[in-house]
Amino acid sequence: MFFFLGLFGCWFFGVQSFNLVPKLIKSFIVALLGPALFHTIGHISACVSFSKVAVSFTHVIKSAEPVFSVVFSSALGDSYPLSVWLSILPIVMGCSLAAVTEVSFNLGGLWGAMISNVGFVLRNIYSKKSLQNFKQVNGLNLCGWITILSFVYLFPVAVFVEGSQWVAGYHKAIATVGTPSTFYLWVMISGVFYHLYNQSSYQALDDISPLTFSVGNTMKRVVVIVSSVIVFRNPVRPLNALGSAIAILGTFLYSQASSKKKAAVEKKD
């Protein structure tokens, strides 16, 4: 919600170009229905995982997203060089080791992170297939539209599933943080930073090389995991830390292998 509110603000003030041809809006929205649905599934399941296990563990499992990407894309006809397939082995090994040694391990949290991976991979695949005729829409605007449709999907489900718990949950949250003003402040801060994270990520892709971006993206996951351990004081066993490191290294190797594959394809074209 905060993301597309922020994007609306960027559109309104001209910070971000609203580069969508009006006559294509109806067909564009139809093309977005599938990607937005998988985007919604990905975010919901990630939040479920965060609520059941340590934040660091969820991010370790989410580092396995390339594995799902390779498997699903291959099933749909794409081919990958041996280097890509080899790069996903340390991801699988690292995630497995981290899961076995995770202190806060919970099956629901594990499945939530895994389903989140599937949701985001299918979002990416179907975005590529269904939005080929809308290349005039840049990445940031595309993410904004997907988020808006995700809100449309999620709101009635949220009302039906948790609507009766909203008031009690609100009061419980206020009691946890202390005062209503503190609660609203944290919600606003988290929303603003989430929007800035998404916007900076999409804008960075236009200004830096894929290699630099993949290095930064890998370091982002390291920072998130380490920061969550420090802030939440989650106990981490040596083997758990080793598994996390192996999984993150595998993610980095996958980024390099897949970027070389993309460069080779573009050169061929």
Q: Is the pLDDT of residue 61 over 80?
A: yes
Measure the CA–CA gap between 217 and 66, rounded to whole angstroms.
Answer: 13
pLDDT digits (tens, 9 = 90+) for 144-182: 788 888 889 999 988 988 888 888 888 888 888 888 889
Measure the CA–CA gap between 35 and 121, rounded to whole angstroms.
Answer: 10
**Which structure tokens are listed for 194?**
């989430």
Q: Is the pLDDT of residue 28 over 80?
A: yes
Measure the CA–CA gap between 241 and 234, rounded to whole angstroms.
Answer: 12
Query: How many residues does this entry show for the chain?
Result: 269
Share above pLDDT 70 across residues of the chain, in percent, rounded to a whole number = 81
Q: Which residues contact 51 (CB under 8 A, 6 or more apart)?
A: 109
Residue of 249, 252, 241 whose CA lies nearest to 56: 241
Q: Is the pLDDT of residue 111 over 60?
A: yes
Q: Is the pLDDT of residue 233 over 90?
A: no
Q: Could you tell me the CA-to-CA distances from 192 to 96, 120, 151, 203 in Å, in that order?
A: 34, 22, 17, 16
Report residue 234's pLDDT band, with 50, 70 and 90 as the boundaries: confident
As to burial, measured by CB atoms within 10 angstroms (0-12 exposed, 13-18 middle, 19+ buried), residue 126 is buried
Report residue 19's pLDDT band, with 50, 70 and 90 as the boundaries: low
The answer to whether 46 touches 58, Cβ cutoff 8 Å, is yes
Residue of 62, 112, 45 whose CA lies nearest to 228: 62
Residue of 148, 138, 195 whose CA lies nearest to 35: 148
Among 35-39, 74-78, 128-132, 265-269, the range of highest mean pLDDT? 35-39
Least-confidence region, from 49-63, 86-100, 206-220: 206-220
Q: State the pLDDT at residue 41.
A: 94
Measure the CA–CA gap between 213 and 226, rounded to whole angstroms.
Answer: 20
Q: What is the mean pLDDT of the chain?
A: 80
Q: How many CB atoms lie within 10 A of CB 162?
A: 10
Q: Is the pLDDT of residue 209 over 70?
A: no
pLDDT digits (tens, 9 = 90+) for 122-147: 988 888 788 777 777 777 777 778 88
Residue of 218, 265, 267 whose CA lies nearest to 245: 218
Q: Is the pLDDT of residue 22 over 50?
A: no
